[in-house]
Structures are given as C-alpha cells and as structure tokens.
Amino acid sequence: MDMADKPFATDGPFAPDEPLTADEPFATDELLAANEAFATDESSVTGKLSTTDESFMRLALAQASLAASIGEAPIGAVVVHDGAVVASGYNRREIDADPSAHAELIALREAARALGRWRLSGCTVYVTLEPCLMCAGLMVQSRIDRCVYGAIDPKGGALGTLYQVNADERLNHSFTVTAGVLAEECSELLSGFFADLRVLSKQRRYADKQEAEGCL
C-alpha cells in the first residue's frame, strides 16, 4: 500500500497538524543511528542467539508491518511457547485510543487466553522494539522466561538501555533478554515510517495553507 493511501495520510490518527518533534521517540534519526552503532558492536547482541530467534523476529516484523498499514507506529510482537507461536500483536494505540495498546501487551494478553493461564512460564516474547517500562513490568508480572527484541529504544527502553527491569533484584521475578536481533531492520522500519509521515504532514500543512489563501 502506498503511504498516501494509508489512514493517516488524510484523516487518520497519525495525521498530525504540527510537525513531529524530538519528543516523539521515533521522529528523528536518533533511533536509526543508535541501532546502527548497536548492530556493529559485536558485544551488543546479548543472551543466547539462534537462527530460530531471527525467524521468530521476522514474524514480529510482519506484525509491525500490519501496524504500519493502518497508520500505527510499526511495532510488532509474537509470543512463543514450546517452539510455536501462540499469540501475536501489533501497536494499536491510535486506532483504539488506548495508551496501553502496545504490541507486547496485546500479544501477552492473547497468549494468556490461548494458554488458559496468566502465568506465562515457558514463554518467550519477540518484539521489534525494546519494551517500555509498562511492557517490561507486564513481562515480570506474567512470569515469562525470556524476551528477545530488535531495535534498542534510546528514549524509553526498559530492558537494558535506560532500565534493566528483567534483572532487578528487588522484584519477585527475573527473565533473560536477548537484544539486537535484526536490529537494523527493525529500526529502519520505524525510521522510514516516520520519515514518510513527516513528508505527508508537510504536504498537508501546505495544502491547508493554500486553501486558506484561496488558491485551491
């Protein structure tokens, strides 16, 4: 689908009246630059990495693309148990008008329903962007075994960048983390999305100005 055909291009939730600013976590090249450096550092991919991790991360990337197709920030997640995907989710904050509708949260809720239990021991969460404090906290509460994420989040990452919620000894559960799996692909998807959105926002403001001046 062409960017101009997506919901945010006209009247969708991601059609801002004002330019994106540096306060928007993905509005600048900071995310891409941070992840390029992260990917070239041999010590940056932490935890146990396998080709299976890459395969499941590609499924999470597919979920992220679904988010982009409806005008949402492209973040996706899958939950794996016994080698099989039991749940998936993608960012829906704007379309659902729900501040908690992050990809990981949606996937974890679906996993709990699929498995019939809130305690998700034996599960691994694959997500394209480093989880925030809310999602990292939910991973503690749901007792997952492991989280694998792609791009680091320099402004909100809670599993290694700004915080290490997974290894906080004050909490009643810990889990392992593997960071940097397909980091460049994950960060490029986000950066590209917001670059295109910025262009569309400028085009919209220009058209509004022209209409206000009676040129259209």
Q: What b/e readout covers 161-199, taking b as 16+ CB neighbours within 10 angstroms?
A: bbbebbeeeeeeeebebbbbbbbbbbbbbbbebbbbbbe
User: Measuring CA to CA, which residue among 119, 155, 154, 156 is closest to residue 139?
Assistant: 119
Question: Are 35 and 186 contacting, i.e. CB atoms less than 8 angstroms apart?
Answer: yes
Instruction: Give the separation between CA 160 and CA 151, rounded to whole angstroms.
Output: 11
Neighbours of 145 (CB within 10 A): 15
For residue 104, indicate whether it is catalytic.
yes
Start-to-end Cα distance in the chain: 27
Instruction: Give the separation between CA 98 and CA 104, rounded to whole angstroms.
Output: 14
- Out of 36, 54, 94, 104, pick the active-site residue: 104
Q: Catalytic residues, which ones?
A: 104
